[in-house]
Structure 1
Amino acid sequence: MKATHRDTVLAEAPTSELVKIEGNWYFPPTSLVAELFVESPTPYTCGWKGEAQYFTVTTGGQPRKDLAWSYPQPYPSSFGRVGQDYSGFVAFDRSVIISE
């Protein structure tokens, strides 16, 4: 699977390595084009996943605020609901195209 925004590939990994949570594909941290991502100060806490980390992602030479997010240290109780440990996996805004 590949995550693309404005012709820029943000992440790529086999489907077997991704996790789908609430309709969003979460990519493993090793699949990211890391130099495109910068942590954002946007706060958010999910009631069952925990504290999120948002990222500003540069695509087409422009920074896109909060285009991606992750749960670096999700609540351990969420692992059973998701089916695995997804710590640090990254999901993307709906404007990012996820394709095979």
Structure 2
Amino acid sequence: MATKAVWNGAVIAATDTYESVEGNVYFPPSSVNMQYVKPSSTNTSCPWKGQASYYTLVVDGQENKDAAWYYPAPKPAASNIKDYVAFWKGVKIEKAAAQAV
């Protein structure tokens, strides 16, 4: 089942496999279209996941500041999402419906 992150008409990430944590879809780093992503200096901290870093999305000249985040060095309990990217701030997560066989 393909899952996509879409913003401003562009597919920012697409994958068949992902991690789900606290209701957020975390996309594997290889599934992220880096042409739409630029590093941000923003960081936040989660008590059990560790320090998050952010990306700003840029599509057709429009920016969505800090609309994606990831954990480059997560705490052990969150090691399954190391470098995986999650989205918010208007980024739509679309999950394709399973097809009948």
Residue in 2 that maps onto 1:86: 81
TM-score with structure 2 length normalisation? 0.86
Which residue of structure 1 lines up, in the alignment, with residue 64 of structure 2? 64
Please show how residues 16-27 of structure 1 align to structure 2 within 5 Å: 17-27=17-27
Aligned: 1:99 with 2:94: yes
Gapped regions of structure 2 (runs ≥ 5): 96-101
- Which of these residues, 4, 7, 19, is aligned with residue 6 of structure 2? 4
Using the TM superposition, give the Cα deviation of residue 60 of structure 1 relative to its aligned residue in structure 2, in angstroms.
3.3
Letter in 1 for 2:55: F
Alpha-carbon separation, structure 2, partners of 1:94 and 1:56: 10
Aligned residues: 93
**3-state DSSP of counterpart to 1:48:** coil
User: Cα RMSD over matched residues?
Assistant: 1.2
- Offset from partner CA, 1:39-97 (integer Å, 9 cap, x none): 11112011100010100111232121101000011001334xxxxx2100000015111
- The TM-score, its normalising length taken from structure 1, stands at 0.86
> % of aligned pairs identical?
39
On the 8 A contact 2:64/2:89 being kept in 1, the answer is no
Report Cα offsets for 1:24-47 as digits up to 9, x if no partner: 100000000012111111120111
2:39 corresponds to: 39
What's 2:15 paired with? Answer: 13
**What runs of 5+ residues in structure 1 fail to find an aligned partner?**
80-84
Give me the whole-angstrom Cα distance separating, in 2, the residues matched to 1:18 and 1:78.
14
Decide whether the 8 Å contact of 1:7 with 1:60 is kept in 2: no
1-side partners of 2:38 and 2:8: how far apart?
18
